[in-house]
Each structure stands twice: as C-alpha cells, then as structure tokens.
Amino acid sequence: MRSSPRPQSLPAARIAASRSRLAMLTTLAMFAFAGNSLLCRIALKATAIDPATFTTIRIAAAATVLWFIQRARVQQPRGGGDWYAALALFVYAAAFSFAYVGLAAGAGALLLFGAVQATMIGYALWSGERLQIRQWLGVALALAGLVVLVLPGLVPRNAASPSLAPPLASSLLMLAAGIAWGVYSLHGKRAADPAAATAGNFLRAVPFAIALSVLTLLGAPIHTPLSVDRAGVVYALISGAITSGLGYVIWYAALKELKASSAATVQLSVPLIAALGGVALLNEALTARLVVSAVAILGGIALVIVRPSKAV
C-alpha cells in the first residue's frame, strides 16, 4: 500500500520553491541593473550622444517594449502606474545620465548606491522595521566592501590637481538619482500588477523626458547641446528595452517578497557586478581589491537577507 506524503512535505516544498524563485528574480534584476550601468557609462563616455537624448530614447524604448508585453498578456491592457512613480523614475534616469557626464565611475557608483541604501533603510526604520545586530553587521560589511571597491575612482588619474572630492553639481545629481531610485522601488512594492505598473510609469515618464530634451535644445537647464550618435542610440535602446524596462518588471516582482532593508542592501551588489562586467567586456584588470570587495559585499548581503534556520 502506497504511503501518503507527510503533511509537512508539501508546504516545505512550496517554501523552497518560493525562496528559489525569489533568489532567481533578485539575481536577474541585479544583473539587469548592472548591465544598464555599463551601457550608460559606455554611451555617455565613449559616444557623442548627449544625456538628455540618451534619457529620452531609453525611457521611450522601455515604454514601447512594456506596452507590447502588456498587449501579449491581455487583449485589453488595463492602466497601471501613477504620475508620482513616473516622476521618480524620470528623475532617476535623467539625474543618472547627467551626473555621469562629470563623475568618475567609482564616485558615481558610491554616491548612487549609498543614497539608495540610505533611502530604503531609512524608510524601513521609520515604518517600524528593526534590524538585528547580525543584519547591522551585514550592512556595515557590505558598505565597507563597496567603499573598498570604488574608493580609487574618487581620484581622477589625469587631473591637473587631483582632489578627493568629486564635482559638487554632479554629486548632487547622482544623490538625487539614488534617492529617486529608492523612492520608486519602495512605491513599486505596493503595486498589485508589477508589469502593468512599470509599463504605465515608463509611458507617463515619456513626456517628462521629451520636455527635458526640449529644454536642453533651448539651452536650459544645463548647457549641453543635443547630439545624436548612432552607437549611443543603440546603447540607449538596449538600456531602455532590456536592462531598464524588463529589469524593473523583474525587480518589482522580487520587491513584493523582500523587506525594505534587504532590498536596499542587495542592490549594493550592482557596482560589483558592473565591475566584473568591465573585466569581462572591457578588458579591465581583475585585482585583489575587486576580489576582497566581492567577498565583503556578497557576505554582507548574505548576513542581511539570509535568515538562520530555527532549531526544531
């Protein structure tokens, strides 16, 4: 006679599957964001495209792809997102692009992800979430690894008068980008349909981006002339359609199961993944500093998001 499965086996299997799904979604999202960073850095540093044009193409490409995804899901896509989230998305994308015109890559990553973590953990503490000592140690370890990774980028190699302080205007722009990313991520945690919300937010962000391009064309607010570069346009299209649009759909799905503090800390892996991408794709050197940073950042993330099993 066939024995029936234990009552605990099915729930245990579901919990394991849920955890595996969360790990997969989070990993894919982090790789998408890291790829987005690489695309933005290459386009804004190595091509002639201007930051306003890059931002507009990136947002429009994401909105288009996500609209088609919604049409494939349902015959009559329902509206999603809101103007508040769309504004936060636009502020992040625009500030990120303009900041990287004047910032070194290391300084930009440090400012961006420091602002993201401060925003999301600050919200978590304000809303009543409390971190254990182990989690605080994990946050500190991950931050230390991030600082070790990006600190050399704070000093320009070819500057006539090297300074540890990055440009103030660009620094403020990158801090604004990080805060906007944190606000957008927290707001998206409440979305009932992440894909629909993301599609609606990108669509609503298009008018903001077009207005920015018009202002740039008129010489305001930043005197950076519009410039369309074929390679830059390609990078912007990939950044918008794949690593931005699809990346946010995946990230929204993961956020629904992550605590705010865990979501903040796990994003610290993005600069590390981007640096490894530079090693693989841009022939950058694999240094001991990078290895030490990898151990510190990933170890810190593990301390924050991995819960110790309870004794039974």
Neighbours of 123 (CB within 10 A): 18
Has residue 214 been placed in a domain?
Answer: yes
d(CA 217, CA 235): 21
**Is 241 among the domain residues?**
yes
Q: What is the spatial distance between Cα 288 and Cα 282, in angstroms, rounded to a whole number?
A: 18
Q: Is 135 exposed, middle or buried (0-12, 13-18, 19+ CB in 10 A)?
A: buried
Residues spanned by the domain of 222: 32-155+165-305
Identity at 292, one-letter amino acid code: V
For position 311, what pLDDT does the model report? 42
- What's the predicted TM-score (pTM) here? 0.76
- Whether residue 5 lies inside any domain: the answer is no
Digitized pLDDT (tens) for each residue of the chain, 312 residues in all: 455 555 555 576 676 677 788 888 888 988 888 888 888 888 887 888 999 999 999 999 999 999 888 887 765 656 678 899 999 999 999 999 998 777 766 667 767 777 787 787 778 778 877 778 888 888 888 888 777 766 655 544 444 444 444 577 777 888 899 999 889 878 877 777 777 888 899 999 999 999 998 888 877 656 567 788 899 999 999 999 999 888 877 887 787 788 766 776 787 788 778 777 777 776 655 667 767 777 887 778 778 766 665 544
Q: Give the pLDDT of residue 91.
A: 96
Domain assignment present for residue 275? The answer is yes
Q: Work out how many domains the chain is built from and give that number.
A: 1
**Is position 6 within any domain?**
no
pLDDT of residue 46: 83
* Residue 202 within any structural domain of the chain: yes
Question: What backbone torsions phi and psi does residue 169 show, to the nearest 5 degrees?
Answer: -60, -45
Label residue 254 left, alpha or beta by phi (over 0 means left) and psi (-120 to 50 means alpha): alpha
Q: Using CA atoms, how far apart are residues 124 and 186, in angstroms rounded to an integer?
A: 10
What is the number of other CB atoms lying within 10 angstroms of the CB of residue 222? 15
pLDDT score, position 224: 67
Question: Is position 285 within any domain?
Answer: yes
> What does DSSP assign to residue 158?
T
Instruction: Look up residue 113 and give its amino acid.
Output: F
Q: Is residue 27 part of a domain?
A: no
Q: DSSP character for 240?
A: I
